[in-house]
Amino acid sequence: MDWQDRITIDPAVLVGKPIIKGTRISVEFIIDLLAQGWIEQEILRNYPGLTHEDILACLRYAGETLHSEKVFPLRTA
């Protein structure tokens, strides 16, 4: 499964943040829940429209975004 099958970006929804298709739930929100210690079962119980695959797609999107990030060293002094 590719994250593109489940994640979309629409400027008319949440100011263009990546969201899970068919929802107004952002990838950022799901990643934040996981970072706060929520487990997958809690997310699925509290957001019954989501699936295991949706959560995996969020993680894949975040991973791919970080892989494509370019970091340049800053010169000091």
Helix %, strand %, coil % of the chain (to 5)? 50, 10, 40
DSSP-assigned beta bridge partners for residue 20: 7
Q: Where are the domains of the chain?
A: 3-66
User: What pLDDT shows up at residue 74?
Assistant: 86
- The whole-model pTM stands at 0.86
* 54 has a pLDDT exceeding 80: yes
Looking at CATH, the fold of the domain delimited by 3-66 is given as Arc Repressor Mutant, subunit A (1.10.10)
Kind and range of the H or E run holding 60: helix 52-68
Which pLDDT belongs to residue 67? 87
